[in-house]
Structure 1
Amino acid sequence: MLIVFERIWATGAIVVLFAATVTGRIGEHSFCSETKECLLFDVVCAGSDYEVRHYDAAKWVTTEVESMFRDVAVTRAFRKLFKYITGENEAGAKIEMTAPVITKVKEGSNMWDTSVYVLSFLLPSDFQAQPPKPTDPSVYLTELPDMNVYVKSFGGWMISMVATRQTQSLKTALDKAQATYETDYHYEVGYNSPMKILNRHNEVWYIVKGQPVCPTGE
């Protein structure tokens, strides 16, 4: 088991906006190959099956789309949030992209079931304290609290079948370790734009409940 205490920054597949201010933190890391700012975290511990991270509270801009198909929902939601950062807000402000972009996915949805997918962009540091209000009523500001997260990283493209497989792999590892985590939903996390073909970085997250359980393997 590798235990590390260092600051790290992430980047994502559909990218999210993050910023460091009073609560949130932003910076650079190797994941952040396409954005100036990324969401900063502390690595609590890491192994071959998963790692445990700590995130400070941070503000995001969020929207929801209902669909039978994850990839369709994510595309529609991304377009809404992109309009927000390109000026569809009360200040008319242009807001830079950051990474990662996160999608909250309900657990237990079956193929062909309609589900609500919640997509969020992290707000950059200049907008963490006072983000402009969206003009689209289906877009809203949120704040994720200070939290510990179980993380599994993987390359390639964050498409529905791949995300499902990687999520199940993380869930299996956590159950084997007898870890407790939020079972109603998980997050699918992207760090790269569609323009990036090679060396992509994606993650799936489960929120830790209680004390985090570190992996036993290197």
Structure 2
Amino acid sequence: MAEEHRHKGYEMPPYTVESVTDGVELRRYGAHVVAEVTVEGDRSAAIGRGFRALAGYIFGGNAEGEKIAMTVPVEQTPAAAGGWTVRFTMPAAYGVDDLPRPRDARVRLVQVAPDRQAVVTFTGLPVTADLETRAAKLRDWIAARGMTITAGPHFQFYDAPMTLPWKRRNEVAFTVE
């Protein structure tokens, strides 16, 4: 059974840690619901545009004008057709059918199936070159253990932009089998 986790009081998707080796956590995530949007542009511009669209949804930009609690992390993954998919996890109390419909047609509500991820956590500013370097090292770590990557990299950000770099929590993850 996946465990509840929080970061600075904010709800996170449920997961259990299978193992920790060389600073890499293997996690099993439970099913959860996300709101997501796919946006064009480079990574830093796309996270800003995606965040604004999703924040609009949870801060009342939906059919009922309902406010939905903020959760963490904000996740960013390269999109299949180019651009980036940005995700907010919805609070566990909601199923896809319980959430208010987005007013912004770009925002999709998606049920995410349980999965297994290899995750590296680090502090600092999430600059693209550093994220790519960490993703390459994690990809090598995964390959060396004979696992198969099925999705990712997922870049996950837990703190507000004004948070001091050494107090930030960031992650690079891949979905693995």
Q: Return the TM-score normalized by structure 2.
A: 0.90
1:40: Cα distance to partner? 2.2
Find 1:7's aligned residue among 3, 6, 9: 3
Name the structure 2 match of 1:20. Answer: none
* CA distance in structure 1 between the partners assigned to 2:167 and 2:159 by the alignment: 9
Quote how far apart the aligned CAs of 1:159 are. 2.0
**Among the aligned pairs, what percent are the same residue?**
26
Cα drift, residue 6 of structure 1: 8.1
How far has the Cα of 1:49 moved from its partner? 4.2
Equivalent residue for 2:90, pick from 120, 123, 146: 123
1:204 aligns with 2:172: yes
User: Superposition pairs for residues 50-129 of structure 1, below 5 Å?
Assistant: 50-67=24-41, 69-106=42-79, 115-128=82-95
User: Could you list the runs of 5+ residues in structure 2 that have no partner in the other structure?
Assistant: none
AA of the residue aligned to 1:195:
M
3-state DSSP class of the match of 2:63? coil
Q: Which has the higher contact order (CA 8 A, sep 6+)?
A: 1
Report how many aligned residue pairs link the two structures. Answer: 175
User: Could you tell me which of 155, 162, 166 is aligned with 1:195?
Assistant: 162
TM-superposed deviation, 1:139? 0.8
Runs (4+) of structure 1 exceeding 4 A deviation are none
1:138-177 paired onto structure 2 within 5 Å: 138-177=106-145
Q: Output the CA distance in 2 between the equivalents of 1:64 and 1:196.
A: 26
Unaligned runs of 5+ in 1: 10-27, 108-113, 210-218
Deviation string, structure 1 residues 96-145 (Cα, Å, up to 9, x no partner):
111111111258xxxxxx93200010111343361111011111101110
Q: Residue by residue, what CA displacement relative to the aligned partner does 1:70-108 show, whole Å, maximum 9, x if unpaired?
A: 10011111100010011111111011111111111258x
CA contact (8 A) 2:4 2:12 kept: no
SS at match of 1:102: strand
**Counterparts of 1:43 and 1:59 in 2: how far apart (Å)?**
20
C-alpha distance in structure 2 between counterparts of 1:94 and 1:139, whole Å = 15
Alignment partner for residue 105 of structure 2, among 128, 137, 159? 137
Deviates more, 1:197-206 or 1:57-66: 197-206
